[in-house]
Amino acid sequence: MTELSHLPAWRLAELVAAREVSARELATLHLARIARADAALGAFLLVDEAGALGRADRIDAALARGEQPGPLAGVPLALKDIFVTRGIATTVASRILAGWIPPYDGTAVARLYAAGANLLGKLNMDEFAMGSSNENSSVKPCRNPWDLTRVPGGSSGGSAAAVAAGLCAGSLGTDTGGSIRQPAAFCGLVGMKPTYGRVSRYGVVAFASSLDQVGPMTRNVRDAALLLQAIAGHDPHDATSIDAPVPDYRAACERGARGLGGLKIGLPAEYFVDGGGINPEVERAVRAGIARLEDAGATVVPVSLPHTKYAVACYYLVATAEASSNLARYDGVRFGHRAEGTGSLLELYCKSRGEGFGPEVKRRIMLGTFALRSGHYDAYYRKAQQVRALIKRDFDEAFTQVDLIATPATPTAAFRLGEKAADPLAMYLADIFTISCNLAGLPGVSVPCGFTEAGLPIGLQLIAPPLCEEQLFTAAAAHELATDFHTRRPPELA
Amino acid sequence: MTATKWEAVIGLECHVQLATETKAFSASASIYGAPPNSCTDPTVLGLPGALPVVNRRQIELALTLGLATGSTLRRRSRFSRKHYFYPDLPKGYQISQFDEPLCEHGTVEFVVDGVPRSVRLTRIHLEEDAGKNLHRAKRSLVDLNRAGVPLVEIVSEPELRSAEEAGEYMRTLRQLVRWLGISDGNMEEGSLRCDANVSLRPVGATTLGTKAELKNINSFKFVERAIEHEIARQTAILDAGGRVVQESRLWDADAGTSHAMRSKEEAHDYRYLPDPDLPPLVIDEEWIDRARAALPELPTARRQRLVAEYGLTVADARVLTEERALADWFEAAARAHGDGKRVSNWVQSELLRELNRDARTIDACPIRPEALAALLRLIDDGTISGKIAKEVFTKMYASGDAPGVIVEREGLVQVTDTSAIETAARAAIDANPKQAEQYRAGKTQMIGFFVGQVMKATGGKANPAAVNEVLARLLGA
């Protein structure tokens, strides 16, 4: 039997509910693994040992009293440090929020707790979720457990590394331009960005409000369904959350066993162009993944998303403009870092922000501020929104012909630390296959579809129409049934 | 050089706090005068991860104002972020409306020196208030209770021509928002604030001169003074051949003067951005229909109706429509009694005197309108005299008791028994033969003297008509 640290989260929940394993055992086991391995990995920014054990005991006590176990009873999770957690420091890996202890829980966090989940700690990330390698963390870099010289991806790099290394049973990330799917691909995980508005953003530190979305990062498809089930649904605290019923995602996964007969999958020509930057090894694995979907009964047809080439430019206008606005609140007045010995209000602002934000965050604030300047709005932000509408229309038209779209999740497998750190534009292009989903508000999932010769995971991305996460789960589950990638484990860390 | 060479062009931007129980974009309570920072929550504080959600009540109140001013209501409007850094602005931006305001093209009508005026409104938009900075000797404190309180900003066209007009416009606006129940319009507590754009141009010119924006006019007393001061300031500059500088000026009520704000204080590029946290505000017809159905009769219409229906003078109707509650009170009393003109006289002379003395509003009036009608009926049926009725009224106001109860308890029922009056009249004539002689010699106004004597002898309770009749008979004999 697989040891507890690598069992699926859904299986752990069953064991805890049946009182075959206690929540405390799971917490203790994972805390020990974190203590042993995380110095090399750098996935955790905060390990809440006392809190985790206390929560575990309360979960066990409730079960002992005969209370109904939640669907995530005792499951040890850790969250990207972008989720606001009451009483537990939340920093977005930024100096500007160092020491901030939130007075409230975000909606996704509260729903995880309500489902019985335990929280082990907070995970590393690119500062303010701005980055694709986790190298923009102001605290420390995070490494890929499959190869410690490589990045885990980003911005949810800590989440990907911790789940892949078995330091927690699952995690939530956020995805603004690929920040769940890209690190999931780099670390061999299932990572889903749901439809914009499917999961509340209340209590998620904002990067780009019209693009940000919360989603699960797990070692298998059914775990992703389990986590999304717990957090999805309308939230009166988020005006952009969708008021639509949440379907049974587990049932959707189970339908994968019946095959994909009748499912039509589109391959967008623009994602597979020669010289488009896609690594041949990656392309082979992605095409093999698509072939598995065909084997399961799906038909594959070409589709076109003609405005794809504008996506990166469009994204970096929308995302930076919104970021420059969202990050205005970090002013040193009410919370977080405040510069010492300032003589005037202007100095207080300039020094606090100057000291508190890292270089990539500053770069994006400046880009966004520039784009929103009076007189620039029409040329930049408004134009970007118009392009965004065209990109969305591309997908709308494609989805009149197909049920899902399949693409690579990333152009390459995980790159080395430092490889792209000096070249922001090269880094931005690491998200080239994922950002269109965010611009169009569509759900997308990355699933493991193979490994490079060097043993690095490769991700296949599936994209669905709005609120069609069920179809993603069904197809992802069917694909998973035909592979053993999800059972492979990175080397144990000493 | 004389001031008449120049014509003043004035536009007002008024901020009105909406009387909602919670804030514009969160469920945090909105209570004036609460302990500092007690009316806050993660959204009001701008904490990381907190999000705004539109309080629908503020939309209803703004729609009411839009309908009352005959504005065009935008079926789909948008909230935008207006960015600037200031400690009283927690998010670093204010949620406001920029290119798609809720209401446009309304009008406000008022009267100056008996002449009706109508000023067009450019727009009425929704936005959230900022908090307050409190400056101490060596540090500043921030109170965010006011942050996030819903406001409407009412922007007039530059169609006002004098400080007096601007003052009357403001008074009308204040009366309107109070009438509609959307704000208490209290300038002292900051529920109503005003910035004025003032420029001068040669009389007869059609282009606009360079304007100065007067900020911080936060007391009713100072609206006219501040604008008069600004007109005088610009007149002096132009008369001397100078040029007005476009700038923001801060009105200093204590000094009675204004000073230019440092350019840094106003050099803002607000970087407006449609707020991605808030979907477009869609107003459907049903919502508008409901707001229209709930709209009370407006002050002007009410005045006209009071004149037509109760035969009041315009001046009387104006007094009675100062407050909607007063007009309601008057109409309830007038309907209960039937003679609106008399009810109006009683309300204006007796009731308002008592209320004003105690600085009470009509809502706190201890007399119910039906009780005034009952009092007047006691006069009508001869139970008490008008003079006694005023005493009874004072006692009603003090005790809240019904007039019949007071009359009974105090033995104030009018004497109509002619024999009792005759006895008193005979006594008065016998005691004052000289005056009786004068009356008989043709000085008939002397009857008033005898009426007084009889009333005094009967403690004011004698029916005046009966007294007159008896005296005329006895003196004439």
- CATH number, residue A153: 3.90.1300.10
Q: Strand A76-80 to strand A170-175: parallel, antiparallel, or no bridges (unpaired)?
A: parallel
Please return the burial class of A283, using the count of CB atoms within 10 Å of its CB with bins 0-12, 13-18 and 19+: middle
CB neighbours of A475 closer than 8 A, spacing ≥ 6?
A256, A260, A263, A265, A293, A298, A404, A462
Count residue pairs from A and B with Cβ separation < 8 A: 100
Closest CA to B120 of B135, B133, B103: B103
Beta strand segments in B226-344, E: 247-252, 257-260, 273-274, 281-282
Instruction: Report yes or no: A323 and A130 within 8 Å, Cβ to Cβ.
Output: yes
State the smallest CA–CA distance between residue B315 and chain A in angstroms.
50
Beta strand segments in A383-431, E: 404-408
Instruction: Report yes or no: A180 and A148 within 8 Å, Cβ to Cβ.
Output: no
Among the residues of A296-382, which ranges form H helices?
A: 311-326, 345-356, 359-372
User: Residue B51 and residue A374: Cβ atoms within 8 Å?
Assistant: no
Closest CA to A459 of A439, A485, A489: A485
Rounded CA separation B352/B346 (Å) = 9
Does a structural domain hold residue A43? yes
Q: State how many domains chain A has.
A: 1
Q: What is the pLDDT of residue A274?
A: 66
As given in the structure block, the two tokens for residue B216 are 């911080």
User: Residue A331 and residue B85: Cβ atoms within 8 Å?
Assistant: yes
Closest CA to A173 of A209, A233, A224: A224
Q: Is the pLDDT of residue A438 over 50?
A: yes
Binning pLDDT at 50, 70 and 90, where does residue B139 land?
confident
Angstrom CA distances, B322 to A279, B113, B316, stand at: 78, 17, 10
Contacts of A377 in chain B (CB under 8 A): 272
Contacts of B93 in chain A (CB under 8 A): 325, 328
Contacts of B50 in chain A (CB under 8 A): 104, 202-203
Which of B48, B50, B93 lies closest to A325 in CB terms?
Answer: B93
A234-250 confidence digits (pLDDT tens)? 999 999 999 999 999 99
Rounded CA separation B454/B424 (Å) = 6
Q: Which residue has the higher pLDDT, A41 or B457?
A: A41
Closest CA to A117 of A165, A162, A176, A51: A51
A286-331 confidence digits (pLDDT tens)? 999 999 999 999 999 999 999 999 999 999 999 999 999 999 999 9
Q: Which residue has the higher pLDDT, A416 or A376?
A: A416
Rounded CA separation A492/B5 (Å) = 90
User: Residue A322 and residue B276: Cβ atoms within 8 Å?
Assistant: yes
How much of chain A, in percent, has pLDDT values that exceed 70?
Answer: 99
**Domain of residue A200, residue span:** 4-268+274-305+396-487
Kindly report the average pLDDT of chain A as a whole number: 95
Name the DSSP class of B219: S
CB neighbours of A342 closer than 8 A, spacing ≥ 6?
A348, A351, A352
Which residues pair with residue B202 across a beta bridge?
B6
Range of lowest pLDDT (A134-138, A176-180, B175-179, B371-375): B371-375
As given in the structure block, the two tokens for residue A452 are 């490079």
Query: How high is the ipTM of this complex?
Result: 0.95
Name the range with the highest mean pLDDT among A89-98, A264-273, B403-412, B451-460.
Answer: A89-98
B178-189 confidence digits (pLDDT tens)? 999 999 988 888
Which of A92, A335, A373 lies closest to B47 in CB terms?
Answer: A335
State the smallest CA–CA distance between residue A232 and chain B in angstroms.
17
Rounded CA separation A206/A174 (Å) = 10
For B141, nearest residue in chain A (alpha carbons): A333
Which stretches of chain A sit within 8 Å of chain B by CB? 83-84, 90, 92, 97, 100, 102-104, 106, 201-206, 208-210, 236-240, 321-322, 324-325, 327-329, 331, 333-335, 345, 349, 369, 372-374, 377, 381
Binning pLDDT at 50, 70 and 90, where does residue B1 land?
very low
Helix axes B386-399, B369-380, angle to 10 degrees: 160
Q: What is the pLDDT of residue B267?
A: 61
Count, residues in chain A:
494
> Average pLDDT, stretch B287-308?
92
As given in the structure block, the two tokens for residue A323 are 């970021």
Q: Is the pLDDT of residue B266 over 70?
A: no
How much of chain B, in percent, has pLDDT values that exceed 90?
Answer: 42
Rounded CA separation A153/A205 (Å) = 20
How big is the CA angle at A41 (ends A77 and A407), to the nearest 5 degrees? Answer: 70
CB neighbours of B417 closer than 8 A, spacing ≥ 6?
none
Give the residue from B82, B273, B278 with the most A CB atoms within 10 Å of its CB, the best one to mutate.
Answer: B273
Rounded CA separation B173/B156 (Å) = 11
User: Residue B277 and residue A204: Cβ atoms within 8 Å?
Assistant: no
Angstrom CA distances, A447 to A183, A299, B231, B252, B378, stand at: 11, 19, 72, 66, 91
Which amino acid, residue B8? A
User: Residue B93 and residue A324: Cβ atoms within 8 Å?
Assistant: no
> Average pLDDT, stretch B69-80?
94
Rounded CA separation A170/A157 (Å) = 13
> Average pLDDT, stretch B422-450?
87
User: Residue B42 and residue A345: Cβ atoms within 8 Å?
Assistant: no
User: Residue B277 and residue A209: Cβ atoms within 8 Å?
Assistant: yes
Contacts of B276 in chain A (CB under 8 A): 208-210, 240, 322
Rounded CA separation B89/B96 (Å) = 13
Sketch the domain layout of chain B as residue ranges. 3-290, 297-410, 418-476
User: Residue B272 and residue A377: Cβ atoms within 8 Å?
Assistant: yes
Q: Is the pLDDT of residue A14 over 60?
A: yes
Q: What is the pLDDT of residue A84?
A: 98
Does a structural domain hold residue A199? yes
For B91, nearest residue in chain A (alpha carbons): A329
Name the DSSP class of A308: G
Rounded CA separation A221/B308 (Å) = 77
A137-177 confidence digits (pLDDT tens)? 999 999 999 999 999 999 999 999 999 999 999 999 999 99
For A108, nearest residue in chain B (alpha carbons): B49
Does a structural domain hold residue A342? no
Closest CA to B257 of B222, B213, B221: B222
Catalytic residues of A: 80, 155, 179
Q: What is the pLDDT of residue B476?
A: 78
Task: Kindly compute the dihedral angle of the four CA atoms of residues A221, A225, A228, A230, in this order, to the nearest 10 degrees.
Answer: -140
Which residues pair with residue A80 across a beta bridge?
A123
User: Residue A238 and residue B48: Cβ atoms within 8 Å?
Assistant: no
Instruction: Report yes or no: A126 and A393 within 8 Å, Cβ to Cβ.
Output: no
Q: What is the pLDDT of residue A275?
A: 60
Q: What is the pLDDT of residue B394?
A: 86
Instruction: Report yes or no: B98 and B138 within 8 Å, Cβ to Cβ.
Output: no
Residue B168 has a CB neighbour count (10 Å cut-off) of 21
As given in the structure block, the two tokens for residue A480 are 């998973």
- For the domain with range B418-476, which CATH number is right: 3.40.190.10, 3.40.50.2000, 1.10.10.410, 1.10.10.10? 1.10.10.410
Kindly report the average pLDDT of chain B as a whole number: 88
φ, ψ for residue A328 (rounded to 5)? -70, -25
Name the range with the highest mean pLDDT among A70-84, B106-120, B160-174.
Answer: A70-84
Contacts of A102 in chain B (CB under 8 A): 47-49
Q: What is the pLDDT of residue B3?
A: 47
User: Residue B279 and residue A239: Cβ atoms within 8 Å?
Assistant: yes
Query: B90 touching A, CB under 8 A?
Result: yes
Binning pLDDT at 50, 70 and 90, where does residue A1 land?
very low
